Homo-oligomer: A and B are copies of this chain.
Amino acid sequence: MNHEALNLEEKFSRFSEHWSPRVIAEMNDTQFKLVKAKGEFVWHSHSDTDEVFIVISGVLDIEFRDGNIRLEAGEMFVVPKGVEHRPVAREECRLMLMEPKGVVNTGDIGGDLTAENDIWV
């Protein structure tokens, strides 16, 4: 068995693209992805699954149709299945996402910010 710790800082150092999730681990069918966020993402939702955001550094705002939330380092939020949301990072923010394998970053909406899926780092 592999006995190597996954170090988040080391994994973040391997890529620089914004809004481009990189998979670092799987637990059963759930994937753990690192994201560097900067600027405004698109409004979207995931009709099949909840989605977890944990902020590792920086500040992430998540806008909802009925209000906003601000997440700082050490804070997390579960966006419920089907709920429209738009992540916004005024400065670069580093975060970890947890969601089932196969989830696309722009959900049901598509568009220019749609990232290739299942890229490991």
Contact = CB atoms under 8 A, between A and B. Distances in A.
Nearest to A75: B5
Contact of A26 (B71, B72, B78, B99): B78
Contact of A4 (B28, B51, B64, B69): B69
A76 B5 contact: yes
Contacts of A8: 74-76
Main secondary structure of the interface of A (DSSP, over half): strand
Interface residues of A, number: 38
Given A3-B68, A5-B70, A98-B98, A52 B75 contact: no
A9 B26 CA distance: 25
A11 to B, nearest CB: 10
